[in-house]
Structure 1
C-alpha cells in the first residue's frame, strides 16, 4: 500500500516535472518571443529613460535657474521701483527748478526792461544835465578867462608891496616868485605825477585865494577911502557953494544964477564897468557890433587902478581950492 502510494507519488511527480519542464520551455519560448518582440521597445525605452533622466536633470537645473532669475527679477523690480521713485522725485525737483528759473528769467527780463527804461531816462537826463553843465562850465571858462585878463591887466599897476605869489604864469616875470627844487625834478612814478598835478593845482588855488582876499581887502579899503572922499567932496562942495554965493552976493549977483557956477563932471571922467577885456581888438572907439572899445591903460589908471600909496600921496598934499566962474 505504501509502495503503491510511493509509486503513484513518483508518477505524479514525474508527470508534474514533465509538465513543469514543458511549461518552463513554453515560458522560455514565450519569454524569448517576448524579448524578440520587445527588444525594439526596450531599446527605445532605454533611450527614453536616459532622455527622461537628462530632461529631469535639465528641469531641475531650469528650476534652479528660474528661482535665481525670479530672485533677480524681484531685485530688479525693487531697483526699478526705487529708481522710478527717484526719477519721479528728480523730475518733480527739475520741474520745480524749471518753474523757479522761468520765474527768475521773467523777473530778470522785467528788471532789465525797467533798468533799460531807467537807463534811457537817466541817459536823457544826463544829456540834458551835461548840456547844462557844459554851458555852465563854458560860462565859468569865459569868466575865468575874463578874470585872467583882468588880473593880467591889473598886474601892471600893482606895486612891489602888493605883489604875491602869482597864479597867472604868463603875466608875471620869473624873478617874482621862487621855484622849489622838487618841482624841477621829473616825476618818476604815476603817483608822483598825480601828486605834482594835485599840489600844483592846490598851490595855484591857494595863491588865487590869497590874491582874491588881498583884492577884497583893497576893495574894502578903497570903498572906505571912497566914502571918506565923497564925504570930503560933499563938504568941500558945500563950502565952495557957500563961498561962491558969498562972493556973488558981495558982487551984487542973484541967487538963481548960483547953481550954474558949479561945473559938471566931464563925460570923459565917467567910469564904466569892464566885463571883458579883449586884448586882440584894435583901439577904436566903437567896433562893428556897436560895443564900446576896451578901456585903455590911462583910463584904467585913472579909474580902477588907484592904490593906497597914491591915495596916501593925495592925502599928504596941501588942500587948495580952485574956482572957475563962468563969465557972462
Structure 2
C-alpha cells in the first residue's frame, strides 16, 4: 500500500474545505434571501399603507388646493379679462399704429432688400468704373500732354490774333467813321428824295384832279405808232442791245408805264404850245385886222401916212397887190413831222 504524498493530502483538504465553505455560503445566501423576501414583503405592506395614507391625504389636499386654485384662477381670470379689456381699449390705437407700422416695416424691409441689391450692383459698377477710370487716366496722360502742347500753340496764335484784332479794330473804327459820315450824307440825300417824292405825290394829286374821264378809265395808252411806222423805226435802229444794255433795260422795264404817261404829257405840252403859238398868231392877225379896220374908219395924218386898204383914190388903194399862190413859181411841199414815242427811244438808248 502506497502512502499518500503530502502534496496530495493538502490538495484534498483544500478541496474539502472549499466545498464546505461553498455549502456554508449557499446556506447563508438562502437565509439572507429569505430574510430579504420577508423584509421586502413587510416593507411593501408598510409602503402600501403609507402610500394609501399619503394618497388619501394628497387627494384631500389636492381637492382643497383645487378648489382654492379654482377660486384664485377665476379671480385671476376675471382680473386678466378686465386687464386685457383695459389694455385692448388703451392700446387699440397703438395696435392699429403697430399694424400700419408692421406693414410699413415689411415694405421697408423689401425696399431695404432692393436697395441693398441696388447698392451691391452700384458697388460692382463703381469698382468697374474705378478700373475704367484708372485705365482712362493712364490713357489720358498722354492726351493731356498733347493738349498742353496744343494749348501753347493756341496761346501763340491767340496773341497773333489779338494783334490782328487790334489792327482790324482800328481799321473798322476808321471805316465806321467813314460809314457814319456817308450815312449822314445818305440820310440828307434820302431826306431830299423824300421831300421830292412828297412834292411829286402832291403834284400827282393835283394832276389827278385835272385828268379827263378817258384818262381816269385808261391811264396807260397804247403806242401811237402804226405798224408800218413801228417797222420803219426798227429798221432805222437795227442794233441789237448788248448784255449790259439788256440788264439796264430790265432794271427800267418797270418804268415803262411811267414813261408812257410822261411822253403823253410831253406830247400834250408840245401840242398845247403849238396850239398856243397858232392862237397867238391868229390873235395877232385879228389884232392887226382890227387895228386896220379901226384905222380905216378913222381919218388922221398917221392913218393917211400908213397903208390903208380902205383909202381908195380912183379905184386904187395904197396897199400893194399880193401875188396869188397860183402865180408864184416856188411851190413848197407840205412839212411832214415824224413823231417817235419817247419810251421807244429810251429803251434803245439805255
Instruction: Tell me the TM-score normalized by structure 1.
Output: 0.31
Question: Which structure shows the bigger proportion of residues in helix conformation?
Answer: 2
